[in-house]
Amino acid sequence: MTVLDSILDGVREDLAVRQREVPFAELKARVPDVAPALDPLPAFRAPGVSIIAEVKRKSPSKGELADIPDPAWLAARYADGGAAAISVLTEQRRFSGSLADLTAVRNSVSIPILRKDFVVTEYQVWETRAFGADLILLMVASLDDSLLTELLGLSGELGLTALVEVHTAAELARAEKAGAQLIGVNARNLKTLEVDRSIYAELAPRIPVGAVKVAESGVAGPEDVAEYHSWGADVVLVGEALVRAGDPRDAVAKFIAAAGNGV
């Protein structure tokens, strides 16, 4: 069993609990009362590099990363530093995230929010919108072609922008076939947790023209953001390096400036 398989098993167990607590019909009924989703693509397509700054307490590869008693405060600092969007981990077992974190962040910032989790069901897509997120992560590695296309289509119907994540050329081809317009290349292999930043350099030129390119994982400092941008990244998602920074606002600003935009 791979690391990803183990994570997905836990995700499905926790999802079953939430589905018992909030039936599907009740969840769907909440969506019309939520403010319309924000569109992140204009900012992502702007000149320079955009930063998706992540609220991330721990990870399977590094364990505890940071004590984040107030995710709303952290997100607000990210936004003040110029982040184009905020990513919120909501997976409980391996990342110590929650939907409560998503709610807190939604109430603290006016920029788009990405719900970062291991989405494998229609219920989770509706759940993402019901809790006010604007973007949803869809990992090609955890979805077959039929389900990827189904969840990508549903996300669009609900106003969500799907960040479709790949790690290999085969996964990229599947993402393109499904019609993904926001494609993230994760330098981390979620089956082994190994990181190889050159994966992005290899796959970026193959991303379809017109799609927004996102680089994920492997960022230790501003120089890594600059390098990803030089390889064609429109957007860089940063977690660990930001939650461990002394001043998250200053750190985001430095990452953006490193790619030549300034703040």
What residues are labeled active site? 54, 56, 116, 165, 186, 216-217
Contact by Cβ (8 Å): 235, 226: no
- For tokens 């292999």, name the residue: 189
Please give the full DSSP string across 153-168, using - where no structure is assigned: HHHHHTTPEEEEEESS
Distance CA 61, CA 68 (A): 18
From start to end of the chain, where are the E strands?
Answer: 50-55, 58-59, 63-64, 85-89, 113-116, 135-139, 161-166, 182-186, 212-216, 235-238
For the chain, the first-to-last Cα distance in angstroms comes to 45
Q: How far is C-alpha 43 from the geometric centre of its chain's CA atoms?
A: 16
User: Coil, helix or strand for 67?
Assistant: coil
Contact by Cβ (8 Å): 187, 225: no
Contact by Cβ (8 Å): 219, 228: yes
User: Coil, helix or strand for 177?
Assistant: helix
- For tokens 């589905």, name the residue: 19
